Structure 1
Amino acid sequence: MEALLPALLGALKLSAKLILIIVPLVTLFEVLRYLPVFRRAGNVVEPMMRGVGLTRDAAIPLFTGIFLGIAYGAGIIIRVAQQKGLPGRELFLMGLFLATCHSVIEDILIFIVIGGNGLAILVVRLGLAVLLTGLMARLWKPARTAPPFGIIH
């Protein structure tokens, strides 16, 4: 029973730290989403996105997933996929990238709070995501005549 109180206090302190990280990040993201920041950032990273098989249409979902995580980004990904008609290949590549390095900003801040090396985490996660997604984009060439998701008309 003596160990329960310090553990509970430690959990409450960590929870408070997490709230102080996550709430401002979500708020900042929601503000930036309506400003031209992501559009400009999309222009800057478009050549790199092409290198891993993604088009400009994937920029907003990709930024959402990188900034806040794949769970929050999933709603954005679904909406953009429906609106822009993203092909299955691009959805898969975006999913692979985000599964490998989702929530980079949020996770790194959380790991720093608990004593992790933020730079090492960033380099490994982004490097692995770019490597895996780029490799898959080269192995899975876009179909020129097949419609998305293999639908036969």
Structure 2
Amino acid sequence: MDWFEFIKTALTGSLHSIWQMARIILPLMIILELAKDMHILDKIAGWMAPAMKFFKLPKEGAFPLLIGLTFGLAYGAGVIIDSIKEGHLTWRDLFLINIFLVLCHSVFEDTALFMSVGANGVVILISRIILAVVVTFALSRWSGLAKLEKLLGNKLMISHCSHCGKGDHIG
């Protein structure tokens, strides 16, 4: 086996893949950051508020859900934690938003990345959204959710931030 050729091929292929991802992710992140700074995302979250009733969620859940859908789980988690600390979301709200986002997050970026490797982006996007809506709707109507909340709801912890020391028991 020619190790030099193997390393060269692996390195070239990896750099090509990184370049493809960067061409997709960087413009998307710039557009999303501009939309956030121009408060376009706040307006869209306001439009989503009526749809939140479909899941029996408060209108305050629209912004964390929108952020998770567009920016992904890491940034969405920060917004969700802030909403909890501000008292806008209950355990039930958090559970349903997280279920939705586990199934359908970072829709623009993920869809574009899958399309770059040849997948059908429309099929991926629509199937993720439908699955998230169906599962979240079913759980929002599930009678066992109240039992689960009684069992786990008072154990919601927000860990302490290593930088600012914020975080405490919510419940």
TM bracket (short chain) = 0.7 to 0.9
Checking the alignment, whether the CA contact within 8 Å between 2:50 and 2:59 is kept in structure 1 is no
| Distance (Å, rounded) in 2 between the aligned partners of 1:85 and 1:60 | 11
**SS of residue matched to 1:3:** helix
Aligned to 1:149: 153
Q: Give the count of matched residue pairs.
A: 149
| Distance (Å, rounded) in 1 between the aligned partners of 2:135 and 2:71 | 21
- Report the AA paired with residue 129 of structure 1: A
Aligned to 2:167: none
Bigger radius of gyration:
2
Post-superposition offset of 1:37:
1.5
Aligned to 1:23: 26
| Distance (Å, rounded) in 2 between the aligned partners of 1:4 and 1:103 | 33
Post-superposition offset of 1:133:
0.4
Please tell me the root mean square deviation across aligned C-alpha atoms, in Å.
Answer: 2.3
* Alignment TM-score, normalising by the size of structure 2: 0.77
Aligned to 2:61: 58
Provide, for residues 86-117 of structure 1, a one-character-per-residue CA deviation record: whole Å limited to 9, x for no partner.
Answer: 10000000000000111111100111111111
Mean Cα deviation higher: 3-12 or 90-99: 3-12
* Alignment TM-score, normalising by the size of structure 1: 0.86
Q: Cα gap change, 1:81/1:16 in structure 2, threshold over 3 Å: closer, same or farther?
A: same
Structure 2 runs not aligned, ≥5 long = 156-170
1:126 aligns with 2:129: yes
Checking the alignment, whether the CA contact within 8 Å between 2:60 and 2:88 is kept in structure 1 is no
Provide, for residues 10-69 of structure 1, a one-character-per-residue CA deviation record: whole Å limited to 9, x for no partner.
Answer: 110110121222222222222211323223212322222211222211122111111121
